[in-house]
Structure 1
Amino acid sequence: MKKEDQALEEIIKQLRLENAEAKAKLEKQKAIESRYEESKSRFEAIFNQSMLGNKIIDPDLRINQVNEALQQMLGYTAEELIGTKITTFAHPDSIPHWKELQKSLWEENIPTFQIETSIRKKDNSYLWCQVSSILFQDQGISLGYTIVEDISNRKSLELELKRLYENQETMMHMVAHDLKSPLFNIKLATGFLKENLEELPAKEKETQEESLSFVKMITDTSDKTLSIIDDLIIIGEVEAVDFTPEEVNLKPFIKAFLDSSSLNAQNKNIQVEVHAPDNPVYGWVDPDKFRRVLENLLSNAIKFSKPEGKVVITLKQEEGKALMLIQDNGIGIPAKLVPSIFDKFTQARRIGTQGEPTTGLGLFIVKRIIEKQGGKIWVESQEDVKTTFYIQLNSD
Structure 2
Amino acid sequence: MPNSKSTLKTSQANTTSSEAEILALRKEIEQLRLEKAAAFDRLNVQEAIHKNFGESQSRFEAIFYQSVLGQKIIAPDLRIMQVNESLQQMMGYSKAELVGTRITEFAHPDFVRDWQALQKKLWEEQIPSFQIETCLLKKDGTSFWCQVTSILFQDQDATLGFTIVENIDKRKLLELKLKKLYDNQETIMHMVAHDLKSPLNNIMLAARLLKETLEEPETKKQEKDEQIFSYVNLISETSDSALHLISELLLIGEIESRYATLEQTDLKDYIQFHLNSLRVDAERKGISLLFHHSGKPVFAAIDRSKFRWVLENLLSNAVKFSQENGQISLTLKEEGDKKVLQVQDNGIGIPAELHATVFQKFTKARRQGTKGEPTTGLGLYIVKQIIEEHKGRVWIESQADAGTSVFIELP
Range into which the TM-score falls when normalised by the shorter chain: 0.5 to 0.7
Tell me, yes or no, if the aligned pair for 2:78 and 2:103 is still in contact at 8 Å.
no
Helix, strand or coil at the partner of 1:163: helix
Q: Distance in 1 between matches of 2:394 and 2:189?
A: 29
For the structure 1 residues 208 and 266, does the alpha-carbon distance in structure 2 shift closer, same or farther, using more than 3 Å as the test? same
Aligned-pair distance for 1:297?
A: 0.3
Q: Map 1:94-105 to 2 at 5 A.
A: 102-103=104-105
Equivalent position of 2:293 in the other structure: 276
Task: In structure 1, list runs of 5 or more residues that go unmatched.
Answer: 1-54, 63-83, 120-125, 132-142, 149-155
Aligned-pair distance for 1:337?
A: 0.6
Equivalent position of 1:128 in the other structure: 132
Equivalent position of 1:312 in the other structure: 329
Equivalent position of 2:277 in the other structure: 260
Q: What does the per-residue CA deviation read over 1:48-86, in whole Å, with 9 as the maximum and x for residues that have no partner?
A: xxxxxxx96246334xxxxxxxxxxxxxxxxxxxxx569
Tell me, yes or no, if the aligned pair for 1:61 and 1:102 is still in contact at 8 Å.
no
For the structure 1 residues 231 and 100, does the alpha-carbon distance in structure 2 shift closer, same or farther, using more than 3 Å as the test? farther
Tell me, yes or no, if the aligned pair for 2:77 and 2:102 is still in contact at 8 Å.
no
Q: Distance in 2 between matches of 1:336 and 1:357?
A: 22
Q: What does the per-residue CA deviation read over 1:338-387, in whole Å, with 9 as the maximum and x for residues that have no partner?
A: 11111111111111111111000011111111111222111111221121
Q: 1:237 is matched by which residue type in structure 2?
A: E
2:333 aligned with 1:331, yes or no?
A: no
Aligned length, in residue pairs: 277
Equivalent position of 1:61 in the other structure: 80
Q: Distance in 2 between matches of 1:101 and 1:263?
A: 55
For the structure 1 residues 233 and 144, does the alpha-carbon distance in structure 2 shift closer, same or farther, using more than 3 Å as the test? farther
Q: 1:128 is matched by which residue type in structure 2?
A: I
Helix, strand or coil at the partner of 2:305: helix
Q: Distance in 2 between matches of 1:116 and 1:355?
A: 52
| TM-score (structure 1 length as normaliser) | 0.57
Structure 1: 4+ residue segments shifted above 4 A: 84-93, 98-101, 116-119, 143-146, 159-162, 170-177, 200-203
Q: What does the per-residue CA deviation read over 1:170-223, in whole Å, with 9 as the maximum and x for residues that have no partner?
A: 69679999x9xxx8xx89x98xx99xx8xx999522122222222222222221
Aligned-pair distance for 1:129?
A: 5.5
Q: What does the per-residue CA deviation read over 1:75-114, in whole Å, with 9 as the maximum and x for residues that have no partner?
A: xxxxxxxxx5699999958x9xx97853399xx9xxx951
Q: 2:239 is matched by which residue type in structure 1?
A: S
Helix, strand or coil at the partner of 1:392: strand
Q: 2:254 is matched by which residue type in structure 1?
A: E
Q: Distance in 2 between matches of 1:292 and 1:355?
A: 23
For the structure 1 residues 161 and 366, does the alpha-carbon distance in structure 2 shift closer, same or farther, using more than 3 Å as the test? closer
Helix, strand or coil at the partner of 2:283: coil
For the structure 1 residues 309 and 104, does the alpha-carbon distance in structure 2 shift closer, same or farther, using more than 3 Å as the test? same
For the structure 1 residues 216 and 342, does the alpha-carbon distance in structure 2 shift closer, same or farther, using more than 3 Å as the test? same
Task: In structure 2, list runs of 5 or more residues that go unmatched.
Answer: 1-73, 94-98, 119-129, 136-157, 164-170
Helix, strand or coil at the partner of 2:405: strand
For the structure 1 residues 347 and 271, does the alpha-carbon distance in structure 2 shift closer, same or farther, using more than 3 Å as the test? same
For the structure 1 residues 290 and 218, does the alpha-carbon distance in structure 2 shift closer, same or farther, using more than 3 Å as the test? same
Q: Distance in 2 between matches of 1:384 and 1:334?
A: 8
Q: Distance in 1 between matches of 2:114 and 2:330?
A: 40
For the structure 1 residues 113 and 251, does the alpha-carbon distance in structure 2 shift closer, same or farther, using more than 3 Å as the test? closer
Q: Distance in 1 between matches of 2:305 and 2:291?
A: 20
Equivalent position of 1:122 in the other structure: none
- Among candidates 166, 169, 191, match of residue 184 of structure 2: 169
Q: Distance in 1 between matches of 2:261 and 2:106?
A: 36
For the structure 1 residues 255 and 130, does the alpha-carbon distance in structure 2 shift closer, same or farther, using more than 3 Å as the test? closer
| TM-score (structure 2 length as normaliser) | 0.55
Equivalent position of 2:318 in the other structure: 301
Q: 2:410 is matched by which residue type in structure 1?
A: L
For the structure 1 residues 116 and 333, does the alpha-carbon distance in structure 2 shift closer, same or farther, using more than 3 Å as the test? farther
Tell me, yes or no, if the aligned pair for 2:104 and 2:115 is still in contact at 8 Å.
no
Aligned-pair distance for 1:275?
A: 0.6
For the structure 1 residues 273 and 101, does the alpha-carbon distance in structure 2 shift closer, same or farther, using more than 3 Å as the test? same
2:262 aligned with 1:245, yes or no?
A: yes
Q: Distance in 1 between matches of 2:83 and 2:262?
A: 39
2:247 aligned with 1:230, yes or no?
A: yes
Q: Distance in 2 between matches of 1:379 and 1:332?
A: 10
Equivalent position of 1:359 in the other structure: 376
Tell me, yes or no, if the aligned pair for 2:114 and 2:132 is still in contact at 8 Å.
no
Q: Distance in 2 between matches of 1:328 and 1:273?
A: 10
Aligned-pair distance for 1:144?
A: 12
For the structure 1 residues 252 and 57, does the alpha-carbon distance in structure 2 shift closer, same or farther, using more than 3 Å as the test? same
For the structure 1 residues 145 and 331, does the alpha-carbon distance in structure 2 shift closer, same or farther, using more than 3 Å as the test? farther
Helix, strand or coil at the partner of 1:284: strand
RMSD after superposition: 4.8
Q: Map 1:12-27 to 2 at 5 A.
A: none
For the structure 1 residues 364 and 171, does the alpha-carbon distance in structure 2 shift closer, same or farther, using more than 3 Å as the test? closer
Tell me, yes or no, if the aligned pair for 1:176 and 1:233 is still in contact at 8 Å.
no
